[in-house]
Amino acid sequence: MSSKTSCALVTTAIGDKYMQDWTNFSKPLWEKYAERHSVAIIVVTEDLISRDSDNWKNGSWQKLLLPQMVTKLFPNISRICILDTDVIMNPLAPNIFDFAPPDHFSVVSLESKTPYPIDEVKRRIAFFRHNYYSRDYPLDSLLFASSEETMTMHGLPTVNQSFCSGLFVADTKQANLMSDWFYSVTNSEVESSVAWEQPYLNNWIQNQPHHWLPYEFQAIWNYEMAWKYPYLYGSKDTLANSQTARDCVESSLWTNHFLHFAGSWFESQARFNTGLLLGNRPLGSFEQFMNYMETPVTGKPKGKILP
């Protein structure tokens, strides 16, 4: 890590399975992106708090302790993008830190400025899961709860819109504040949460100076698949090691900056395809395309050319 680097992508990959999946399916794209924008990558592979502690919570919660750890071990880092391990990015994407103002938390809304009608997207997810995956999947569930309803379920003040906590940008100067948030929630509250840490983070961050990033910085694969590639539902549990699924994921990456494979249903298996955007196929030649984008064009005619 260069001592001149002040920004870092930071994640928790606690447990062999998380680390292995991140290494095989996320790391190659993270490295290309980080190299292009001269940002560091920090991966935490062990608990930041003892499992014997009454305050222990899983990796999703321990992301709140990351700024303190970064401040202690990497004092040159002042800004961090905290991501889940199942987030990948197009190496051609712009530097997220250029879009995130200092002294703010920067987040991506799950509801506003999406490129498709979010209510219909959720209907499609429920309908396709029910008909392709399992008849036990309900056609009406928490999937359709509003931000206000979700917050109320947790006894929290309501918000007008929610962000997905799988990605947000923060300054390390907010380390003590985020640590206080971590210790303010009891294990019983964690166990009763229907949406993990996300409602709590929405409450805390939306009461601080915050900035809404464009949707492209955290496109949700479940939304993308339901809206653009519904035929993939017919593949059910064979989206891993699938040429078709890889093509669809790559297509999504060419129209988005970051792509998040949130959730535990079959859609997320599309992430488990190696070589995304790194091969020699037309959709894999991102480096050639980047060079092409930097080459001036003149618009001069070349004569009639046919295939």
Sheet with strand 79-83: strands edge to edge: 40-44, 7-12, 79-83, 167-171, 105-108, 210-213
pLDDT band per the 50, 70, 90 thresholds, residue 4: confident
- Domains belonging to the chain, first-starting first, are 7-293 (3.90.550.10)
Specify the 3-state DSSP secondary structure of 12.
strand
Classify residue 231 by burial, with Cβ atoms within 10 Å: 0-12, 13-18, 19+.
exposed
Q: Shortest CA distance to 61 belongs to which of 210, 202, 190?
A: 190
pLDDT at 286 over 90: no
What average pLDDT does range 165-192 have in this prediction?
A: 93
Answer whether residue 49 shows pLDDT above 90: yes
Sheet with 87-89: strands ordered across = 87-89, 258-260, 219-220
Q: Report pLDDT for 122.
A: 96
Q: What is the pLDDT of residue 282?
A: 57
Neighbours of 279 (CB within 10 A): 14
By CB atoms closer than 10 A (0-12, 13-18, 19+), residue 95 is middle
pLDDT tens-digit series, residues 246-280: 999 999 999 999 999 998 899 999 999 988 877 65
| Whether pLDDT at 215 is above 80 | yes
Cα–Cα distance between 145 and 178 in angstroms, integer? 27
Q: What is the CA 182 to chain-centroid distance, rounded?
A: 20
What 242-250 contacts at long range (C-beta under 8 Å, 24+ apart), as own/partner pairs, is 242/270, 242/273, 245/269, 245/270, 245/273, 246/270, 246/273, 246/275, 246/276, 247/283, 249/221, 249/273, 249/276, 250/276, 250/277, 250/283, 250/284
Task: For residue 55, give both structure tokens.
Answer: 């305050």
Rounded Cα gap, residues 189 and 157, in angstroms? 15
